[in-house]
Amino acid sequence: MIITMRKRVTYFPDNRGFTLIEMAIVLIIIGIIIGAVVKGKDLIRSAEQKKIYTKYLNGWRTGYANFYDRTGKRLGDFYDELASAEGQDGKADTDNGHDGNVSDIERKYLKTGDPLGTDFRGLDDVGLSAPSTNSGNCFEYTYTDKDGSGHTLSVAFKYDRKDKYNYMWIDGVPNELGMALDTMIDNEADGTSGDFLCYSESDTENQDWGKPSTEVSARWKMDF
């Protein structure tokens, strides 16, 4: 007797793949999700830029103005190069001694005052508070750009001897943040005009805003 073995075959009624329409729908959904994530990051960064302007930099500007109201002197007015008297020439020169460099110690004096000085020098001396920051130093603020790179902004006050105006000097500013701040302050991102100006890192050359993540320095005129 011959026994015939038959292989059982299971048939699926519908064994087809995704259609082009289904794949297109999936891709659209993925695109929407990615777009939402990118948009969310942009909104977070925009909110951080506004916070830096309203809470931090404008906080220093307000402190500068209140310091003058209480003392009749400019915040950071350390040295009179003509009379060799401290704090008498009306020039906000955080660069004590005019050696061309602003040290962290000199920046710290904006809050605490020079312990060796007798004149009002810092915010603490007149009962004013420095702006809150996300850094260990009140004169610094850490900003993360769109590429995820960190930048440390440093604040000081200086005097332009050529055009004769006091200004807040903000060092370590990425161009993307500088343009945002310029728009908030001057209503346009033009680094060569208005009250908020773009300068080279050395604070010597006025220029237009450049590549987003490249660091420059910025000036915010403080004369009211």
How much of the chain exceeds pLDDT 90, in percent? 54
Q: β-strands 196-199, 165-174: how paired?
A: unpaired
Lowest mean pLDDT segment, chosen from 88-92, 132-136, 174-178: 88-92
CA distance 130 to 147: 30
Which one has a higher pLDDT value, 43 or 143?
Answer: 143
Q: List, for residues 66-88, the tens digit of each pLDDT value.
A: 999 998 888 988 755 555 555 56
Whether residue 3 is predicted with pLDDT greater than 70 in this model: the reply is no
Q: What is the pLDDT of residue 41?
A: 66
- For 24-66, how does the pLDDT look when each residue is reduced to its tens digit (9 = 90+)? 888 888 877 777 666 566 677 889 999 999 999 999 999 999 9
Q: What is the mean pLDDT of the chain?
A: 84
List the structure tokens of 59: 């906080």
**pLDDT by residue (tens digit) across 147-173?**
889 999 999 999 898 999 999 999 999
> Stretch 5-18: mean pLDDT, rounded?
57
* pLDDT digits 0-9 by tens, 183-224: 999 999 999 999 999 999 999 999 999 999 899 999 999 976
3-state SS string for 133-179 = CCCCCCCEEEEECCCCCEEEEEEEEEEECCCCEEEEEEEEEEHHHHH
The closest of 139, 70, 152 to 109, measured between CA atoms, is 139
Note the pLDDT of residue 37. Answer: 66
pLDDT number for residue 25:
83
Average pLDDT over residues 100-106: 83
> Rounded CA gap, 157 and 137, in Å?
16
Residue 4 binned pLDDT confidence (cut-offs 50, 70, 90): low
* Domain residue ranges in the chain: 22-221
User: What are 33's two structure tokens?
Assistant: 């999700």
Q: Which pLDDT band holds residue 121 (cuts at 50, 70, 90)?
A: confident
Other CB atoms within 10 Å distance of the CB of residue 59: 19
Residue 32 has a pLDDT of 77
Characterize 192-224 residue by residue with b for buried, 16 or more Cβ atoms within 10 angstroms of its Cβ, and e for exposed: eeeebbbbeeebeeeeebeeeeebbbbbbbbee
Which has the closest alpha carbon to 166: 103, 70, 95?
Answer: 95
pLDDT for the residue numbered 167: 96
Q: Kindly write down the DSSP assignment for every residue of 9-39, as one continuous string.
A: ----S------HHHHHHHHHHHHHHHHHHHH
Over range 131-138, report the average pLDDT: 94
What backbone torsions phi and psi does residue 153 show, to the nearest 5 degrees? -80, 140
